[in-house]
Amino acid sequence: MNDETPSPGSRLLTGRTVLVTGASRGIGRATALAAHREGAHVVAHWANDEQAALDLQHLLADRGCLVRADLRDTDQAETLWREALAWRGHVDVLVNNAGVWLGSPLDDPAQWRRGWAGNLALNLLGPADLSRNAVLHFRERGGGIVVSVSSRSAHRGDDAEHLAYGAAKAGLLALTKGIARGFAADGVLAYSVAPGWVATDLADAGEADGASVPLGEITPPQDVAEMIVFLASGRSRHTTGATVDITGADYVR
């Protein structure tokens, strides 16, 4: 990574390759577009919504590359990383955004087990596999950046029906902090963002109410994307290891 401060008029990510997971919708889509605006080449991972992925590819044009993968499958996560790396020969930034909000109710043993397995697989183990590959690659290149999308639930816990989600997102925070502490000497920077309710499909599923937020609205995904892109720029290197809460003051630590 180049540690020199870019000139004031330059774009934040010019010349960098950024892998964004869960890029077809919500925070991931907003992040892919914001990174592209700032000059990045974007590897846009998607899993289910092909039309949304194709629409994104049209906007990214020749600075975009779509890769489909189910991150619950270790082999597919490895394939995603290999394809991302092969596109331009290097990856400079990994954005762990893909996630799922699955219930894990105590009174249903089968759903409890499915909820834990699903939340851990996609919200923690998938990002862990990609982060491992990223850190190994970054060490060879003299540095790189990991930005992971966690949740306010990682701090306060989630509701009674979603204990596994909060636990998995807390694990993602711990992973990010460990990467920051363990590999700073290799030039690897790691950050987390912890949104509250964001105006995405997940918020619709949870029947989020913007009236309870001090700002009076649910957080737009673009607000989260702008912070991710800034952290991905490396302009605040000594913020490594930190978590930035993005909740509209709904949850303040």
Q: Which residues pair with 44 in a beta bridge?
A: 20, 66
Which is catalytic among the residues 148, 150, 169, 233?
Answer: 169
**169 catalytic per annotation:** yes
Phi-psi region of 139 (alpha: psi -120 to 50; beta: other; left: phi over 0): alpha
Which is catalytic among the residues 24, 150, 151, 192?
Answer: 151
The closest of 63, 53, 65, 58 to 26, measured between CA atoms, is 53
CA distances from 47 to 118, 194, 218 (A): 15, 23, 25
Other Cβ atoms less than 10 A from the Cβ of 22: the count is 27
**148 catalytic per annotation:** no
Give the pair of three-digit tokens for residue 109: 């043993």
* Cα separation, 128 vs 153, whole angstroms: 19
Which is catalytic among the residues 104, 165, 191, 251?
Answer: 165
* Cα separation, 6 vs 29, whole angstroms: 25
The closest of 146, 120, 252 to 196, measured between CA atoms, is 252
**10 catalytic per annotation:** no
Which residues are designated catalytic?
151, 165, 169
